Amino acid sequence: MSTQNADTIEEHTVLLPKDYVQKFDPDAYLQFYFSKNAIEDGTRISLFALPVFAQLMLQTMRPSERETLLDIGAGPTVYSALCFRDVAKRVHLSDYVDRNLEVLHKWTRQEETIDWVPTIRVIKRTEGGPVPTAEVCREVEEKARGLVKSGGIHFADVHQEVVVPAMGDQLVDVLVSIFTLESACHTYEEYCKCVNNMMKHLRPGGRFIIGSVLEDNEYNSGTQTIFHLLNLREQMILDALTNAGLDVANAKKYVLDGEGVMFLMATKLQ
Ligand SMILES: C[S@@+](CC[C@H](N)C(=O)[O-])C[C@H]1O[C@@H](n2cnc3c(N)ncnc32)[C@H](O)[C@@H]1O
């Protein structure tokens, strides 16, 4: 996700975790990562890993064990709801930035946001089967939208003891967080604390799914707005998850070296 190369090192401002509320632009982010061109140009590793995890959950958990899913730091994106539409009955999307939550609300009202069909096509390709028709894509999106309407759209702050206050005492069966903690944290100590905070929303025996950037210092959130990332080695993430009570030894993990990302699904120990 770095924007520098050796020949053209340019001075640029790197925004910090505290700048998300002021400076994160949901439209620029969606355009940069989820527009038709962006989806067709690059591999979205998440759209490969999440459907694989979804399939695994369908095979290993009874329907009654996977009713609720919470995505922490979803930003303006709905791809977790799209990927896990057959896994859960209720999907809760949450984020720190009100503008992101507004975009999610717009999507539930079927108002114009980004066109999710290119993303749905990639998800369907990962799931296998024929190239989906426009009607199939519409059904996938409608199902995901229904799940989010049954769940909710909530404020989240990973730095708080109670990350998503709107969840109250309700523990979820599946907790998802993609590219959020390394964006929200300055130090590894903070990171470990935030993992512990998040994990309080997951029931023992439930699944935690994390997507993380590895060993990078910054990323482009669209229109050359560069945000800081906490530089994490894989082992640092595994240690934080182990200490937070996850069964890391038996986790399902994808590390894509060329891409500098890791996706992992682990069970919360009883
Ligand atoms: C790189 S984006 C990832 C968005 C989405 N999960 C995805 O995969 O495209 C990082 C997200 O972290 C959110 N974030 C930043 N600080 C946060 C905090 N303290 N608590 C929760 N989320 C936060 C931002 O608002 C932003 O949506």
Q: Whose CA is nearest to atom 4 of ligand 1?
A: 75
- Using CA atoms, how far residue 128 sits from 42, 85, 121, 124, 131, in Å, is 19, 16, 11, 6, 9
Cα–Cα distance for residue pair 175/173, rounded to 1 Å: 7
Cα–Cα distance for residue pair 147/138, rounded to 1 Å: 14
Query: What pLDDT was estimated at residue 12?
Result: 81
- Using CA atoms, how far residue 236 sits from 2, 54, 239, in Å, is 20, 25, 5
Query: What pLDDT was estimated at residue 270?
Result: 84
Query: What pLDDT was estimated at residue 10?
Result: 58
With the CA atoms of 131, 136, 141 and 146 taken in that order, what torsion angle do they form, in degrees rounded to the nearest 10? -150
Q: Which residues are annotated as a binding site for S-adenosyl-L-methionine?
A: 29, 73-74, 79, 95, 100, 157-158
Ligand 1, atom nearest to 74 Cα: 6
**Listed residue (252, 263, 264, 228) closest to 44, CA to CA:** 263
Measured in degrees and rounded to the nearest 5, phi and psi for residue 151 equal -90, -95
Reported CATH class of domain 14-267: alpha beta
Q: Whose CA is nearest to atom 5 of ligand 1?
A: 74
Average pLDDT over the chain reads 94
Query: What pLDDT was estimated at residue 1?
Result: 45
Cβ(12)–Cβ(3) below 8 Å: yes
pLDDT-based confidence at residue 230 (cuts at 50, 70, 90): very high
Q: Whose CA is nearest to atom 12 of ligand 1?
A: 180
- Give me the residue spans of the domains in the chain: 14-267
pLDDT digits (tens, 9 = 90+) for 173-203: 999 999 999 999 999 999 999 999 999 999 9
**Listed residue (28, 177, 3, 15) closest to 92, CA to CA:** 177
